Structure 1
Amino acid sequence: MNGVLKAMLSEWFSSGFLNLERVTWHSPCEVLQKISEAEAVHPVKNWLDMKRRVGPYRRCYFSSHCSTPGDPLIVLYVALTSDITNNIQAIVKDCPLSETEDKNKIAAAIFYSISLIQQGLQGVELGTFLIKQVVRELQKEFPHLGAFSSLSPIPGFTKWLLGLLSLQAKEHGKNELFTDSESRDIAEATGGPAHETLRAYLSSNEWVKSAKLVCALQAPLMRLCAWYLYGEKHRGYALNPVANFHLQNGAVLWRINWMADSSPRGLTSSCGLMVNYRYFLEETSTNSVAYLGSKTIKASEQVLGLVAQFQKHSKL
């Protein structure tokens, strides 16, 4: 029955029945209220925060069904920037409200949040179609726009890392995550054995209060994150659900960003790291076929370099 219902919903909510609608500060209050309450990636704090997200250099779009226009099913937030952003605070906090848009300053479109409003439609491919629609809409508005990328969270990374640290702690004296110099730096910063004390620090987010520990962790966490996104698989596909979504769409695993989300939520879920999945429009179809058919992940030199470092230093 689950399979039949999913197939029926997929037909009822296929692309031919969906409309693209843009949200502005002048949209109906009920719409603004609904999408602000449903924001799952970067929670909206207040009405001023919401006004920023639909103001200058920002776009917000949603899909609605033709039978219920104006009723959001899934929402996508976009930042229009001069380059591919590597920090989420620069998007959700540093957006001017009064500035008039200068098209000459816009060179990149950053998809920084996509949230499903109608949770009963989990599993229906709404997000993929919404991104394609938004890209076409932005190209009409900004014909010169050349770069399309996400700035995505990495849910599950901290949990995965804590599991590895627990395993290493049980195997006394065994070190397969850090180099000898990294272990010494971490032990010096935490005051105890790297695996045991680090697990406690990461669990409570206390580590960001120590500049010394932040510095010591940058190199190992970057390569561990690269491996988590590129090497950890579920049935041959990326284990991380956000990575799997963008890779299915044909995006490139392009750049991992250190301390890109310093909010408590970002530190808890992914140790503050975020990732850019970049959409090279002329390559998305080829990349999608390669991923879905051959389970091949297209990644940048930065990511592949970090993966090579992980393989060199780790024995997992």
Structure 2
Amino acid sequence: MFLRGAWRVGGRLGADSLGCCTGRADMLQGSFKWQRLRKIYAQNVSGLQNSADGAEAGSSSPSFFMATISQMVTEIIGPKEAGLKKPTIPEGKTRHLCDVYRSLSPEDKATFLRVISQQFGTDHDEVLKAAEGLPQAKEKSEGALLKAEERLQAALVPRYHDLFVQIGRLEGGVKYLVDMRADTLDLLTTVKDSSVSAELRSFSSCLREMLSHWFSAGLLHLQRITWESSCDILQKISEYEAVHPMRNWTDLKRRVGPNRRCFIFTHSTMPREPVVVLHTALTNQISDNIQTIVATALPDEEDADDINTAIFYSITSTQKGLQGVELGNYLIKRVVRELQAEFPKMTQFSSLSPIPGFRDWLVGEINKVLSSTESSSSDDSGVDGPTSTPPALLTSAELEKVAEIAGKEDALPLVTLKKLLQTNQWMGAESMVEMLRDPLMRLCARYLYLEKRRGYAVNPVANFHLRNGAVLWRLNWQADTNPRGISQSCGIMVNYRYFLGDTMRNSQRYMEEQHIEASQQVIDLAQAAGGVDAGGVDTPAGKSNL
């Protein structure tokens, strides 16, 4: 299976693939014996037709494939004994490694990544040896200490770092590394072995650090997308839109037309590939629902005098391999400067954001309460002591009303509510929608403002905007009534507002103190949900309009 995948190109298998490699014979001479690889490939193909021969060939394929990978990488970065003396590498060898990797099946790519992460990582013995020499070097002289520290730093760098450097120098090499990291992240979700997972995480982290430098703000190019932009870019903008999918070309034309702005970041190594996309609506007030932005007909011309607000309603990172690399926050800051220059009267900047995960979190909380109730009713041990009881979600009166409207008064109200939420059936009855407004808004405020992971907001969108210095400003009921919005967040959306003079302070407090700057509306709702001491919560200073 491994070798068959190694020669699969674009779904074609056989002579065409071998012909492609034959055409590169000039750069393979003096390298590994690729003729042997081709021979075993042929044995595998014939083995499919003969079970006995196939078993024999297949038994040697995985080990030979892994040895081939190891040999190819060693020829590029040099043997381990080379130390700091790096060989001069012909570009052809590095490019050929990239071509082989691209041609592999997903299973063979996984093997490829495991081999590199395991065999070309950090040499722990070398690290310990270098560290042990520090005390002696310190006693000798400052120069000796610096030399020892240099040896330790070199020992801490995994050998595959040199491979990344070589690949990054190729035309298209950076995009190749981005895609390789995306493959690594996918692989990490399937690996169960803890040691293999640790090696792959280290591999991914090293690659992320390099990509963070290559994709720093100064190396990214801001570009506005209009209906006159190239067709391939427009097509990618449509395909990449993950927050509010586009239905057709008319929808796309509206989102890049008058009273709308679409900006992208590109990189010099990926000039026609959007790295991150930001959609913005130009309005005269902070929008409270997405329907008015993506579904309402717009005038053909802009009235600059009537535009004072920018609503960031969709931001999409298009490259999975850049996960964990800060990009969106730089794009928002650049776009704010662009819009201020174009619209001098613009004073308000806010997002209109989805709340992915809210409904799933709420269903999980309902399950906790139900489980706690069952445990309490079945516990006859009579042992006194404190018990952990989940906080109440709805009042007794609210639960009774849910059961009454649903016509399920004979069932547990929380069970009825859970079913209504999971099936979105509650949206079918206007009385139920109105009845659930207050409890769902309370619980959503609790989810965004109180629920934390390692001290920071558990919701990823909230964490993104709060890290950027935004204020958790307003929750909006029935703001996204599309099926996706109902399934994600019960139709609730949130505005994260950017007060430009306060963003740096807000960001610093959030990062250092895990403090969330929130409006009074959010604080009151969270307090009503239970668990907030209003006297101990700071509201944005001088922001009486919140």
Global fold match (TM > 0.5): yes
Q: Contact 2:260–2:282 at 8 Å: present in 1 too? A: yes
Structure 2 partner of 1:138: 339
Displaced runs of 4+ in structure 1, greater than 4 A?
A: 172-175
Deviation at 1:312, TM superposition (A): 6.6
In 2, the alpha carbon distance for the partners of 1:312 and 1:17 equals 45
Structure 2 partner of 1:16: 218
Deviation at 1:184, TM superposition (A): 1.8
In 2, the alpha carbon distance for the partners of 1:187 and 1:68 equals 56
**CA-to-partner distance for each residue in 1:112-141, whole Å, 9 max, x for gaps?**
000111221111101010000000000010
In 2, the alpha carbon distance for the partners of 1:238 and 1:57 equals 32
Q: Contact 1:84–1:110 at 8 Å: present in 2 too? A: yes
TM-score, normalization: structure 2?
Answer: 0.56
2:529 is aligned, of 281, 292, 310, to 310
1:55 is aligned, of 257, 262, 278, to 257
Point out where structure 2 has 5 or more consecutive residues left out of the alignment: 1-202, 378-388, 533-546
1:197 counterpart = 2:416:
yes
CA RMSD of aligned residues (A): 1.5
Deviation at 1:66, TM superposition (A): 2.6
In 2, the alpha carbon distance for the partners of 1:135 and 1:66 equals 23
Give the 3-state SS of the residue equivalent to 1:272 in structure 2.
Answer: coil
Q: Contact 1:21–1:70 at 8 Å: present in 2 too? A: no
1:150 counterpart = 2:354:
no
**CA-to-partner distance for each residue in 1:24-75, whole Å, 9 max, x for gaps?**
0000000000010010000011000000100111000000013333421110
1:284 is aligned, of 503, 506, 519, to 503
In 2, the alpha carbon distance for the partners of 1:180 and 1:310 equals 14
Give the 3-state SS of the residue equivalent to 2:329 in structure 1.
Answer: helix
The one-letter amino acid paired with 2:250 is L
Give the 3-state SS of the residue equivalent to 2:262 in structure 1.
Answer: strand
Relative contact order higher in (CA < 8 Å, ≥ 6 apart):
1
Identical amino acids, percent of aligned pairs: 54
1:83 counterpart = 2:302:
no
Q: Contact 1:35–1:117 at 8 Å: present in 2 too? A: no
Deviation at 1:186, TM superposition (A): 1.1
In 2, the alpha carbon distance for the partners of 1:224 and 1:6 equals 36
1:222 counterpart = 2:441:
yes
Deviation at 1:2, TM superposition (A): 1.7
1:267 counterpart = 2:469:
no
Please give the residue correspondences for 1:24-103 in structure 2 after superposition, counting only pairs within 5 Å.
Answer: 24-96=226-298, 98-103=299-304
Give the 3-state SS of the residue equivalent to 2:491 in structure 1.
Answer: coil
The one-letter amino acid paired with 2:441 is M
More helix as a share of residues:
2
1:128 counterpart = 2:344:
no
**CA-to-partner distance for each residue in 1:238-261, whole Å, 9 max, x for gaps?**
000000000000000000000000
The one-letter amino acid paired with 2:214 is W
Give the 3-state SS of the residue equivalent to 1:149 in structure 2.
Answer: strand
Change (3 A) 1:123 1:95: farther
| Number of positions where the alignment pairs a residue of Structure 1 with one of Structure 2 | 312
In 2, the alpha carbon distance for the partners of 1:259 and 1:214 equals 9
The one-letter amino acid paired with 2:332 is I
Structure 2 partner of 1:188: 404
Deviation at 1:163, TM superposition (A): 0.9
Give the 3-state SS of the residue equivalent to 2:229 in structure 1.
Answer: coil
The one-letter amino acid paired with 2:284 is S
2:464 is aligned, of 209, 232, 245, to 245
The one-letter amino acid paired with 2:401 is D
More strand as a share of residues:
1
Deviation at 1:209, TM superposition (A): 0.7
In 2, the alpha carbon distance for the partners of 1:194 and 1:57 equals 46
In 1, the alpha carbon distance for the partners of 2:305 and 2:272 equals 32
